[in-house]
Each structure stands twice: as structure tokens, then as C-alpha cells.
Structure 1
Amino acid sequence: MDRIELIAPCHFGLEAVLKREIQDLGYEISGTEDGRVTFYADMAGISRANIFLRTAERVLLKAGEFKAETFDELFERTREIPWERYIPSDGKFWVAKAASVKSRLFSPSDIQSIMKKAMVRRLQEHYRTDWFKEDGASYPLRVFLKKDVVTVGIDTSGVSLHKRGYREVSGKAPITETLAAALIMLTPWRGDRILVDPFCGSGTFPIEAAMMAADIAPGMNRSFTAEEWTNLIPRRAWYDAVDEAASRVRTEIETDIQGYDIDSSVIKVARRNAREAGVDHLIHFQERDVRDLRHPKKYGFVITNPPYGERLEDKRDLPDLYRAFGESFKRLDSWSAYMITSYEDAERYFGRKAQKNRKIYNGMLKTYFYQFPGPKPPRKDAGKGAD
């Protein structure tokens, strides 16, 4: 199994960002669909993908793909997969999640039950036993059915990759770490540029930006299900990936990253989260109203997740809030603004039309990523004469 295929699910609408990340790691893309990217790697690639990918929700080892229109077909085709290549005799295995779109088989519980029975039958024949203790490492499956095509992946990550390990407590309406990272990557912002989030909440945008600037891999400080798969991945592969990540960290850099929020309690949470992420020295958090948004320098970025008005009583406050945000932004000479919100009148009250508007699903919530790019700064060597 030198060459394997891995599946990386992501937020709908952000596949291109994840694809670029995977290619930057040196892996070949094998396919892109709504909400996921597949790619070729070796077993060590499981370690590297889990530790380095900022925008993937998890990493799955692709075990098989087939067509099934009946439960009998589902059983037989699942049974044909060589499960003994992946699951040892003491392995714990189950179908953790089944999702079906436009397929004849649509009951998740029935799909899960039948596939488990098929796996048991296959492994019983291979290991010549009638009963499995299942007291070893875990091999949870995640199954996708789309137009009767069944894609089977073994989950290498365990807890979703947006759980970096730094955010135990969140503010109201938190944005996930993976989504925040992907949205930052959609902008031209780089670590040597100014970034301000005037609705920072628990600090996710500033923290993810600081981790990018310092090249801190998002999975350095957490564990993964596949670490226990010693039958497939040598422990050395995990040590090597962590060593590679550690060698790239640059915490001595200087940044201008700021997070503001009107709620002092969430600012305390943001500071604590930044400490946990190891980037508190790279971010300035402050209790501040959006009406007081200002900065002396030009060519900065506002990247933010303003309130959506999830509760009916909050919606009444949104016009004034977005109007105040727009007025404050006008004072920022030559700046760019990027905001994700589900508020349909965001542009109207912000006071300008977005140059680009990307639809993104934040969980089940349809949101829009409004993009207001400003002018590019002059090149640092512009105006210098030739030597």
C-alpha cells in the first residue's frame, strides 16, 4: 500500500483553497467534488495532511467506491473490499456516519448496519473467527452515497480538524477555525500586512492569521485516531511530521494583527485562546466598539464575522451596526474589507457594493463572503534608481 488515496472534506465553496493547500504539501489531486478533495499520497501523507492542512475538516483513507442500488448490492460490494488490509483482528470498526444524496438507499441507520455486517463477514472469513473483541485501535468509517455511488473512507482524524486544541470556550456565533483559515486564504493578506477584526469574538480570525504568519501547523498540538494504526503507519511517520512542523515555526516575527470586540468577557476568552495557540505575543486584543475602528497606517485588511442577528430581537440592531461599521471603514484610507455574514442587507447598510460575493455554507447556515478589495500598496523598491 505504497500509494493510497485520501479524501479531505471541506466547507462547500472552499474546495479550491483546500486543493491549493494539498498541492503545496506536494500531493497529486485525483478529484474535486462539492465539499471534498481527493488526492494520492503514501501512508506518511496521513500524518502530514492531518498536521498541516488548515482548511480540511478531516482526512479519510479511501477504502473503496462502488455503485449500489439495493441493500443486497451494498452488502456484497462492501464485503468485497479487502478490510483485512486495514483492520487488524483486534480492531474496533463501525460506520460512524452515513450520508445519502439523490440515491435509492437513503436510510443512514440501515446503511450503517448492513455495511457493518458485511465487514464482519469479510473479516470472519479472513481471521477465521466467529467473534471479535474489538478492543484495539479504532477504525471508524464515514460513508457518502451520491447518485447511488458509495464512497467509503476510514477516518484518520477522529475529532474534526477544526478542533486545533486552543479554543475550549467560544463566544457567541463562533466561526470554525477551518472556515476562518480558508476565508483568510481567499484574501491577498499575508503575514507582513495589517489585519484587524472589529468583531473578533473568541479570536478565531486573528489567531488563525497569526498561526499562518508564524507558520504554525494547525495540528501540532492535538492527537489523531490514526496515531494508533501501527499496523499501517509507523510511529516514526508522526514524529517526522511533527519535527517538520516544528522546524518551520517562526514565532520571533513581527506582526500587526488586532482583534476588537465590544464585549469584555469574550476579549478575555480571545486572549486565553491566543495563549493556548502560542500566538498571544503576535496579536493585540482590545475591548472596542466598531464605531472606534481606526488605524494610522494605510493598506490594511479588515477580515471579520459581524453579528448575523440569529435571534429576532437582535435583528432590529443590525442596520445601525452595519451602518456604523461602514462609516468606520470609510476612515481607513486604502484598506480592504472582507466579511462573512448571513445578513441579507449587509451591503445596503455597510454603504457599498461588494466587488465579489461568494456563497458559503457555515454548517447548515447559508452565508455570503463579501469582498471589498482596496488598492495594492506600492512596491517597496518603487522609485529607487538603478545602482
Structure 2
Amino acid sequence: MQRMELVVPCHFGLEAVCKKEIQDLGYDVHTVSDGKVHFIGDAEAIVRANIFLRTGERVLLKLGSFHAESYEDLFQGTKALPLEEYLPKDASFWVTKASSVKSKLFSPRDIQSVMKKAMVDRMASYYHQSFFEEHGAKYPFRVSLYKDEVLLCLDTSGDSLHKRGYRLKMGKAPIKETLAASLILLSKWREDAPFVDPMCGAGTFPIEAAMIAAKIAPGMHRHFTAEAWENLIPKKEWDYALEEAGDEIDRSLLETKKNSYGKMVDIQGYDIDPAMIPVCRENAERAGVGKLIHFQEREVGKMSHSKRGGLILTNPPYGERIEDKRNLPLLYTELREAYEDLDDWRLCLITAYEQAEKYLGKADKNRKLYNGMMKTYFYQYNGKGRK
């Protein structure tokens, strides 16, 4: 099969986690940049990356890159790319998103318009016609400009990969599924250790943890734009990848809650809002992990667990959208006190609250991340509490 360069956007600060996932799938990582991981693969790689990656936002097929400081540069650079190798005659194609950072060309709408005209010109010269009905499969393009360097890609995913399909109902400030999975992997949690999210909202952290434990591929139950690209990806590739994903599921774990070592998987989610508990359960059932998670209405200060060596992973209120900042000192103090009363547990949390360490204590590790455009911190506390 033809080998291509693929680009996986991911959360800023979590590129290493995404890189490891791609390597674990068996592919060679080409380069890593801010918020992007580039790797080499074929049609099979496009399919498997979409279905199996937990941390990437989408899978992009790179068509080319070039320098552009004017709209004429942009037009000619786009027109020079071999679009006909990817687009059939009846393709419906457009630039669905344009972004620009530190570049002379900065208007997304103008960038999209100029590039669409250049694409039509290229297709017209190749197919010897001036009009395209565009009634066939959809081929959305994404373009990014950084310091006047243009990167043009086809979006093979369609909807962002964080849309697994299980979270039909959400809380007030939900964390993305891809970010939740990234933080679980970053935390080095093992399925034989207890896992608790004491402020679980719609249940995203516990559900992603359960899917990881049961080896359920996140893209098994959704569709992708590239499924219709039969000129580039044979349908059998999708069938093979879904069969592979089905074979990998630990069905014994789903039935018995015991992992391959014979230890019980213990995943729990608490929330103070009683209305969120049935939401969590519905979401978990749709994800196929309803039997693996115990959800319960409970205050943070009443969190407890009889086992040792577990992990608390949570996304507490920041004081930005949910709660007044005046309530946060008590909340974070209660979290610290509950954590310290557990036997040799670890605590990991993502928050934008600048005073978090004042009430939690100084973290063993502190990583700056971006949740969308919001700067956040991932605090890690390792093994404190009573012995």
C-alpha cells in the first residue's frame, strides 16, 4: 500500500502520550510539534488510528506544505499539489477549517476561499472541465498556517475523535474524552489499582478508565468521513480493523470484573449532584462498561476507600464557569484531607485554579496543559497519606 504522512492533532502538553500510542500501534513517528504528532502509514494506518487512538483529536492525511506570504502564493501553492491523486471526479471538497498563527495571511474566510478556487482550478485542468457537481463522497480539508508555512491536510475523521458516541448527556463543564484518556495514561494507572473520581460529572474519567482496562477501542461504535473514500481506502480495511478491535476486548473482565491477573477491577465515580448519577450510568452502559463502574452520590469530604495504593483522578471546579471562587478553598481543602486519609494513594487533578497548591500542598509534579484555549495545570501527588 502507498505510504503517506499522517498528522494527529492532540492537546498541547500531551504530545508524548499521543506519540507513544501511535508507536504502540506499530507506526513510525516522523516528527512531533506543538499539538501535533506526524507519523508514516498507509490506508490501514488511517483506519486503525481512527479506531484505536484514545488521545488524538483527529487523523489528518497530509497533502503537502509550502511557504505563502500573499494570497497569490497561497493560490499557486495549493494549485501545485496533486489533488487528483486523492479526489475523484465527483468529490465534494472544501476547506472546512483554516487557522493562522504568526503569519501574514490571517483571515480564515479569505484563506478558505482562495484555496477552494485553487483546488477547482487544479481539478479543472486535470479533468478538462470547468464545473464540478460535487455530489460524491465528502473530502473536507484542513489548513494551518504557522509563520507563513502552509500545511494542507485531508480530514479522515470527520467529527473529532473525542466524540466516542457514549456521552449523550453531560454536566456543566465536561472534560473531553480524549483529554481524560490522555491524563489516565499519563498518570500510569494500572487496572489492578483502585480508581476513584470524586467529582465525576458525566462520568468521563471512570468510563475512559474502564474502556482502557477492558481494551475497548474508542472508535468502535462511530463513523468516520474516510469510510466513503473507496478510491483511497478499501472497505475491507475497515472490516479488518473492527474485527481486530472486537478480538482485543477483554470480555472476561466485562463479565467478571477480574483482570488477567485474577484481581478485581475497582473503578468508582462520585458526584454531589444526584441528577448526575443516572447520567453517568447511562453513559457507561452506552460505552459497554456499565458493569465495571460503581457510581454514587457522595460529597468530596466523605470520600473513603478500604484498599491501599489507588488513584484519585479528577477535574474539580475551577471557579471559572461552575462555582464562585469563594467556595474553592473549602472544596480543595476537603479533597486534600480525604486524600491524606487514604492508604498510600496517589492524587492527580487538572485545574485552572491558580491557588490549588495553597490548599492541596505542593505537588510532586506540575505539568502545564491546555484544555481548549484555557491554560490548566495537571498536579500529581505521589503516594502520600497514612501508611
TM-score bucket (shorter structure): over 0.9
Name the counterpart of 1:380: none
CA drift of 1:252 comes to: 2.2
Quote the Cα distance in structure 2 between the aligned partners of 1:329 and 1:247: 38
Q: Which consecutive residues of structure 1, in runs of 5 or more, have no partner in the other structure?
A: 376-387
1:344: Cα distance to partner? 0.8
- TM alignment of 1:185-200, pairs within 5 A: 185-200=185-200
CA shift for structure 1 position 313? 5.8
Task: Trace 1:231-270 onto structure 2 (pairs within 5 A).
Answer: 231-253=231-253, 254=257, 255-270=265-280
Are the structure 2 counterparts of residues 313 and 305 from structure 1 closer, same or farther at C-alpha, using a change threshold of 3 Å?
Answer: closer
Q: AA paired with 2:373? A: M
Candidates 332, 335, 341, aligned match of 2:351 = 341
Deviation at 1:319, TM superposition (A): 0.8
Rounded to whole Å, the distance in 1 between the matches of 2:288 and 2:150 is 41
Q: Which residue of 2 aligns with 1:326?
A: 336
> Which residue of 351, 363, 370 maps to 1:361?
370
Mapped partners of 1:252, 1:33: distance in 2 = 39
| Residues 342 and 368 in structure 1, CA contact (< 8 A), matched pair in contact too | yes
The answer to whether residue 33 in structure 2 is matched with residue 29 in structure 1 is: no
Amino acid at match of 2:331: L
Deviation for aligned residue 1:311:
4.2
Is the 8 Å Cα contact of residues 251 and 279 (structure 1) preserved in structure 2?
A: no
Identical-residue share of aligned pairs (%): 60
Structure 2 residue ranges without an equivalent (≥5): 258-264
Matched, 1:126 2:126: yes
TM-score (norm 1): 0.95
1:274 aligns with 2:284: yes
1-structure distance, mates of 2:214, 2:322: 40
Q: Specify the alignment match of 2:99 in structure 1.
A: 99
Post-superposition CA distance 1:91-134 (Å, at most 9, x none): 00000011111111111111100000000000011111111111
What letter corresponds to residue 68 of structure 1 in structure 2?
A: A
User: What is the identity, as a one-letter code, of the residue corresponding to 2:381?
Assistant: F
CA drift at 1:75: 0.5
SS of the equivalent of 1:357 reads strand
**Separation (CA, whole Å) in 2 of partners of 1:269 and 1:153:** 37
Confirm or deny: 8 A CA contact 2:59 2:156 kept in the other structure. yes
Deviations 1:344-379 (A, max 9, x none): 1111112x210111111101111100000117xxxx
Alignment of 1:305-320 (within 5 A): 305-311=315-321, 314-320=324-330
One-letter amino acid matched to 2:315: N
CA contact (8 A) 1:298 1:332 kept: yes
* Cα-Cα RMSD: 1.4
Q: Secondary structure of the residue that 1:218 maps to in structure 2?
A: coil
Matched to 2:55, the amino acid is T
Distance (whole Å) between structure 1 residues aligned to residue 353 and residue 344 of structure 2: 25
Q: Distance in 1 between matches of 2:302 and 2:73?
A: 63
Distance in structure 2 (CA, Å) of the matches to 1:249 and 1:332:
32
Could you say which residue in structure 2 is the equivalent of 1:384? none
How much has 1:312 moved relative to structure 2? Answer: 8.3
Equivalent residue runs for 1:65-214 within 5 Å: 65-214=65-214
Q: CA deviation at 1:147?
A: 0.8
Q: Deviations over 1:152-195 (max 9, x none)?
A: 01000000000000001111210000000000111121111110
Number of aligned residue pairs: 376
Q: CA deviation at 1:271?
A: 0.6
1:251 CA displacement: 3.2
Whichever residue aligns with residue 116 of structure 1, its letter is K
